[in-house]
């Protein structure tokens, strides 16, 4: 493996080997413990959409492993609110952000991810209801819904799309940068790079053009037809045309198999689909936030109707999938992957075929390599990598003995002009204006839409980017602000009058005015020994002109509250609350102080969080002085102490780097062994041996038997220095767990 003069990463092609025979069997044999007769499927279609989680789309689907609530970093369990059809922004969904959101499997730090929550809106904790995506729900209830489909990599689109054609990403872990955003692969300019992780976790940047074997190559080797339907070069959506990143295809004769996405409907209706098709939409129909889910669903329905009306329907299997989580919440922690690239959060999956088990919800673990596995089994092809070799083949979702299901032709629908029907504001101090919330107005029609008026009722105000007309396919934004004049609940409306047949569009507005200040809104006590007591202070302020009467103050969880308010706070006055944390056991300990009083916003809540532990680590962070590449530092040490009354088992102690992959820059030795007796301590010694120039982050992770707190983490940082090396460190990724 090496770099050519353009920085092009050259990877060896995976060798091919022959299977003994094409899989076959009697209809219904699968139910009898035999392999099913896959030869009844002659066409496989993979429709690839963008950036949604299972919970955001199908969290309310009956019988599926969904949820309607999520836990945030304060320990609060909040409802997944109604998701706008057009979101006001995209969300951060880098690999580092995903691992931070996972929080060692607790799945409670999504709200800390980039742009998830702006001004407390917790927008990534939202989901659609059946009426928002009715056709997807109809496909799910008629055919198969998969609720254990995990993206192949815990990161962005580029590597996940590569898994969809090759069961690997060539080591790429991010989206290409420094070039044209629509040209991500081999035809991107020489400035373009993509982050690359090797097998020991070192991260580098390489040109995003690879040369490994793909499913297209395997199909060609046995003369089985295939096409990749995608947007044209340089247009929105071309970035997801994955074969553009495969050098021997992009710059060879097989590029003729990559055709415009608009050709798919024509080929399907004519009955001329190849044996294997990938279908990628243009960006506007991709469902990638902030794009309309309704418009994206309509595009999917159009493709599926073409298949339903095709003479090939009776021998086709269609898989509709979303490529990554896009920053939206999902409650299930991904399983451990078989290699250094970790699985990402769950994404939706629909399996549509005459032989799909009707109304079946598959709980079988899938990833994108599963698509390749079923095609390989059908046509007698070898696996490309360990990923597709070990993946589930999706055959649990088919019954080749059943009476074939008939076509299901659905109608596209009118998409909502206003992105949401309701906007709710957080409690807001009387006499002040809230941060704005956004309502997006979209013209889904074929001609310009006239906007006659936009008005908000008393207590609310609006400004907008909307002019007198809005062109077809365009949108504008209305910023709505809540400015209460009295305490208590306040409701109103935002009314949009325009030339669309759905006019007027009415958005319900609600908020609570408050004259009580409770600061801070969250107290984090950090990690404390079980049974110990730690206190912090919060302040209640009466911002009104009347005396505030306090009827009760209730603490929950491992917390106590004392106050000097004596039942009331004078106008303009304040008093303090002393909050004590006494962890009763190990793990995250959530709680709250609930204040009931005479203000119209009552009750007010102070959120509390802390971690109880019997283990202490001192120091919890080791910072190494600058070290020349190729040399090793003197060791730095941290002490691990068992302050509990029983023995703790230590299963492993590892020095890890970015994304918690083992790597060479830090190494550790320790005296801990396999257990640590009550009252005993052990020493962890770490040596820094930088392999690359620049700041390097890592950690020592100690996995142990303490419930709720394992692993214990010692953070590591250092800087490699040298002028004699060619690589540079990737220093923007915090060391987070897979």
Counting beta carbons within 10 angstroms of the beta carbon of residue 148, is it exposed (0 to 12), middle (13 to 18) or buried (19 or more)? buried
The pLDDT of residue 29 is 34
pLDDT confidence of residue 339: 86
What's the pLDDT band for 19 if we cut at 50, 70, 90?
Answer: very low
| Averaged pLDDT for residues 500-511 | 96
Do residues 243 and 216 lie in contact, with contact meaning Cβ atoms separated by under 8 Å?
Answer: yes
SS3 at position 68: coil
CATH number of the structural domain spanning residue 640 = 2.60.40.10
In Å, how far from its chain's centre is CA 299?
Answer: 23
- Residue 709 pLDDT > 50, yes or no? yes
Q: What is the DSSP letter of 334?
A: P
DSSP helix/strand/coil, 429: strand
Average pLDDT value for residue range 237-260 = 97
Is the pLDDT at 17 greater than 80, yes or no?
no
Find out whether 19 and 380 touch, Cβ atoms under 8 Å.
Answer: yes
Q: Is the pLDDT of residue 156 over 60?
A: yes
Give residue 657's pLDDT.
Answer: 64
Question: For strand 316-322 and strand 349-352, is the pairing parallel, antiparallel, or unpaired?
Answer: antiparallel
Mean pLDDT of the residues in the chain: 89
Q: What is the pLDDT of residue 11?
A: 32
> Is residue 333's pLDDT more than 70?
yes
147: containing domain: 43-172+225-243+258-397
In angstroms, the CA 687 to CA 504 distance is: 67
- The answer to whether residue 455 scores a pLDDT higher than 50 is yes
Rg of the chain over CA atoms, in angstroms?
28
Same domain, 296 and 333: yes
- Asked if 297 contacts 21 with a C-beta cutoff of 8 angstroms, the reply is no
Residue 581 has pLDDT above 60, yes or no: yes
> What is the per-residue pLDDT for 10?
30
Same-domain status, 162 and 285: yes
Q: Are residues 322 and 233 part of one domain?
A: yes
Beta bridge partners of 227: 277
How does pLDDT run across 131-140, given as a tens digit for each residue?
999 999 999 9
Residue 25 neighbours by CB distance under 10 Å: 15
Give me the number of domains the chain comprises: 4
Largest pairwise CA distance in the chain? 86
Phi and psi (nearest 5°) for 635? -70, 145
Q: Is the pLDDT of residue 658 over 60?
A: no
Q: Hunting for tokens 């989901």 — which residue is that? A: 127
Q: Which residues contact 567 (CB under 8 A, 6 or more apart)?
A: 549, 550
> Same domain, yes or no, for 325 and 233?
yes
DSSP sequence for 608-636: EEEEEESEEEESSEEEPPPEETT--PPPE
Residue 32: per-residue pLDDT = 41
Task: Mark which of 464, 485, 514 sits at the end of a domain.
Answer: 514
DSSP letter at 169 equals -
pLDDT of residue 662: 62
pLDDT for the residue numbered 711:
84
Same domain, 230 and 113: yes
Q: How does strand 144-146 pair with strand 349-352?
A: antiparallel
How far from the centroid of its chain's Cα atoms is residue 20's Cα? 40
Q: How far apart are the first and last CA of the chain?
A: 26
CB atoms within 10 A of CB 453: 9
Cβ-contact 629, 690 below 8 angstroms? yes
Tokens of 110: 């999504």
Edge-first strand order for the sheet with 568-569 is 522-529, 604-613, 587-597, 548-555, 568-569
The predicted model gives 579-588 an average pLDDT of 94
Residues 135 and 282 in one domain: yes
Spatial CB neighbours of 286, under 8 Å, sequence gap ≥ 6: 49, 50, 51, 237, 240, 296
Quote the CA–CA distance of 34 and 25 in Å, as a whole number. Answer: 7
Position 323 in a domain: yes
38-73 confidence digits (pLDDT tens)? 999 999 999 999 999 999 999 999 999 999 999 998
Structure tokens at 681: 């301590």
Q: How far apart are CA 618 and CA 638, in angstroms?
A: 5
CATH at 155: 3.40.720.10
Q: Are residues 442 and 549 in the same domain?
A: no
Residue (of 593, 598, 556, 599) closest to 578 by Cα position: 593
Position 12 in a domain = no
Asked whether residue 116 is assigned to any structural domain, the reply reads yes
In a domain, 414, yes or no: no
- Note whether 575 and 647 are same-domain residues: no
Q: What is the mean pLDDT of residues 474-503?
A: 96
Domain endpoint, select from 550, 580, 613: 613
pLDDT at 537 over 90: yes
Residues 338 and 267 in one domain: yes
Reported confidence tier of residue 406, pLDDT bands at 50, 70, 90 = very high
Strands (DSSP E) contained in 547-665 are 548-555, 559-563, 568-569, 574-581, 587-597, 604-613, 615-618, 621-623, 627-628, 636-642, 648-656
325 assigned to some structural domain: yes
- Domain-located, residue 213: no
Same domain, 356 and 231: yes
Q: Among candidates 599, 483, 605, 596, which has minimal Cα distance to 546?
A: 599
Residue 367 lies in a domain: yes
Say if residue 264 is in the same domain as residue 131.
Answer: yes
Q: Select the more confidently predicted residue: 655 or 30.
A: 655
Q: Which residue in this structure is represented by tokens 């460190």?
A: 729
**Are β-strands 627-628 and 712-721 bridged in parallel, bridged antiparallel, or unpaired?**
parallel
- Residue 31 placed within a domain: no
CA atoms within 13 A on the CB side of 209: 22
Distances (CA, A) of 358 to 30, 210, 313, 371, 381: 16, 40, 16, 20, 29
| 464 touches 478 (CB < 8 A) | yes
**Angle CA 324–330–335, to nearest 5:** 75
CA distances to 177, 209, 238 from 205, rounded to whole Å, are: 10, 12, 22
Indicate if 360 and 488 belong to the same structural domain: no
- Cβ atoms of residues 704 and 615 within 8 Å: yes
Residue after which a domain boundary falls, among 569, 597, 613: 613
Q: Where are the beta strands (DSSP E) in 246-373?
A: 258-260, 276-279, 316-322, 349-352, 360-362
Per-residue confidence (pLDDT) for residue 659, from 0 to 100: 56
């Amino acid at each position: 493996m090496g770099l050519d003069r353009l920085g092009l990463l050259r990877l060896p092609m995976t060798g091919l080997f022959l299977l003994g025979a094409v899989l076959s069997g009697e209809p219904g044999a699968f139910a009898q413990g035999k392999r099913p007769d896959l030869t009844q499927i002659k066409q496989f279609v993979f429709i690839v959409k963008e950036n949604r989680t299972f919970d955001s789309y199908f969290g309310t689907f009956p019988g599926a492993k969904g949820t309607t609530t999520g836990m945030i970093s304060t320990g609060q369990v909040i409802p997944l609110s109604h998701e706008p059809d057009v979101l006001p922004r995209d969300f951060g969904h880098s690999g580092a952000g995903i691992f931070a959101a996972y929080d060692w499997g607790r799945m409670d730090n999504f709200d800390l991810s980039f742009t998830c929550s702006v001004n407390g809106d917790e927008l990534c904790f939202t989901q659609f209801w059946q009426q928002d995506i009715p056709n997807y729900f109809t496909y799910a209830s008629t055919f198969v819904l998969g609720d254990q489909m995990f993206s192949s990599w815990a990161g962005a689109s580029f590597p996940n799309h590569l898994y969809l054609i090759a069961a690997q990403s060539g080591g790429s872990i991010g989206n290409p940068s420094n070039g044209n955003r629509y040209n991500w692969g081999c035809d991107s300019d020489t400035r373009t790079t993509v982050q690359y992780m090797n097998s020991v976790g070192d991260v580098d940047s390489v040109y995003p053009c690879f040369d490994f074997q793909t499913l297209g190559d395997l199909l060609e080797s046995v003369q089985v037809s295939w096409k990749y339907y995608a947007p044209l070069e340089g247009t929105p959506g071309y970035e997801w045309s994955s074969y553009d990143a495969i050098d021997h295809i992009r710059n060879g004769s097989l590029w003729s198999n990559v055709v415009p996405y608009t050709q798919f409907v024509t080929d399907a209706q004519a009955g001329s689909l190849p044996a294997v098709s990938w279908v990628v939409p243009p960006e506007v129909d991709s469902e990638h936030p902030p794009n309309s889910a309704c418009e994206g669903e309509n595009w999917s329905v159009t493709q599926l109707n073409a298949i339903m009306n095709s003479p090939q329907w009776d021998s086709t299997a269609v898989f509709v999938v979303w490529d990554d989580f896009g920053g939206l919440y999902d409650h299930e922690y991904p399983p451990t992957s078989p290699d250094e690239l970790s699985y990402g959060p769950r994404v939706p999956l629909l399996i549509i075929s005459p032989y799909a088990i009707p109304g079946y919800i598959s709980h079988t673990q899938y990833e994108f390599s599963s698509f390749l596995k079923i095609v390989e089994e059908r046509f007698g092809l070898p696996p490309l990598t360990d990923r597709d070799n070990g993946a589930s083949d999706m055959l649990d979702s088919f019954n080749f003995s059943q009476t074939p299901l008939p076509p299901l032709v659905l109608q596209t629908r009118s998409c909502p002009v206003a992105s949401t029907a309701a906007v709710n504001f957080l409690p807001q101090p009387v006499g002040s204006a809230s941060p704005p919330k956004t309502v997006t107005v979209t013209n889904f029609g074929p001609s310009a839409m006239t906007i006659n008026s936009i008005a908000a009722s008393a207590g609310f105000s609006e400004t907008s980017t909307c002019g007198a007309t809005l062109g077809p396919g365009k949108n504008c934004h209305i910023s709505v602000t809540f400015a209460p004049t009295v305490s208590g609940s306040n409701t109103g409306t935002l009314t949009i009058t325009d030339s669309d047949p759905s006019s007027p569009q009415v958005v319900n507005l609600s908020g609570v005015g408050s004259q009580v200040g409770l600061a801070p809104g969250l107290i984090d006590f950090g990690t404390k020994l079980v049974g110990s007591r730690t206190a912090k202070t919060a302040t209640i302020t009466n911002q009104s002109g009347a005396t505030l009467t306090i009827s009760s103050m209730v603490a929950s969880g491992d917390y106590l509250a004392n106050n000097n308010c004596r039942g009331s706070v004078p106008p303009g006055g304040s008093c303090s609350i002393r909050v004590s944390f006494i962890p009763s056991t190990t793990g995250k300990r959530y709680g709250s102080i609930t204040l009931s009083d005479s203000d119209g916003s009552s009750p007010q809540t102070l959120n509390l969080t802390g971690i109880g532990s019997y283990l202490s680590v001192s120091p919890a962070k080791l910072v190494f002085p600058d070290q020349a590449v190729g040399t090793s530092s003197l060791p730095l040490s941290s002490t691990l102490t068992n302050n509990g009354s029983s023995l703790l088992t230590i299963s492993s102690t590892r020095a890890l780097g970015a994304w918690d992959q083992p790597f060479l820059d830090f190494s550790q030795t320790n005296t801990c062994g396999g257990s640590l007796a009550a009252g005993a301590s052990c020493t962890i010694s770490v040596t820094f041996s930088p392999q690359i120039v620049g700041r390097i982050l890592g950690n020592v992770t100690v996995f142990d038997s303490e419930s709720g707190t394992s692993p214990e983490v010692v953070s590591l940082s250092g800087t490699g220095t040298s002028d004699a090396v060619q690589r540079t460190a990737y220093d923007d990724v915090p060391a987070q767990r897979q």
